[in-house]
Amino acid sequence: MKDMYHAHAPLSPEQCSSTIRQLIHAPLPLVWSIVRQFDNPQAYKQFIKSCDLISGDGGSGSVRDVTVVSGLPAERSTERLDQLDDDLHVMVFSIIGGDHKLVNYQSTTTLQEDASKSGGGTVVMESYVVDIPADSCEEDTCVFVDTIIGCNLKSLARVSEKIARGKVP
């Protein structure tokens, strides 16, 4: 059902998209409480040094200015929260500025309870669509973005599972 949120169809041949999944052995409400904090992405996103809310209260329409850790090919990113649905556990944000190559980037994150035989938990899916930079190709762009998202979701799993075990990160 949540897969419908991840049906990103590139609008042109100059765009690419992908979806990354992560199983987290922690209850959905706990994981969502971390993900939904638009004003505190550094709670689990390792590549973010700091975040300042420029406008809004952290709900839909809010805009944040993110400072990226050194070593990445960027220093800052300006991002808008397009959708935040606490009932359906859906978050959508767009990058609207910054000094990086992620133009027309939009990310969708959904959470759902894991119904598999693996012991329960939460399945997090994050998908995106983005323009392919002129000096790059589709494969390299997807590998770069998939790597960042994969690292973020693994970090989310570590943080969530540690809290679920009663150990504050």
Q: What is the pLDDT along the chain (169 residues), one digit of tens a residue?
A: 456 676 666 667 899 999 999 999 999 999 999 999 999 999 999 999 999 999 999 999 999 999 998 766 788 999 999 999 999 999 999 999 999 889 999 999 999 998 776 667 999 999 999 999 999 999 999 999 999 999 999 999 999 999 998 876 5
- 68, 45 contact by CB (below 8 A): no
**pTM check: above 0.85:** yes
All structural domains of the chain: 2-6+19-164 (3.30.530.20)
Nearest to 131 by CA among 106, 165, 167: 106
pLDDT, residue 152, reads: 97
pLDDT, residue 5, reads: 72
Order of strands across the sheet with 106-113? 15-24, 122-131, 106-113, 90-98, 76-85, 63-68, 48-55
Residue 114 has which token pair?
């894991």
Q: What is the DSSP letter of 3?
A: G
- Within 10 Å of residue 115's Cβ, how many Cβ atoms? 8
pLDDT, residue 1, reads: 47
Residue 2 — φ and ψ, nearest 5°?
-70, -15
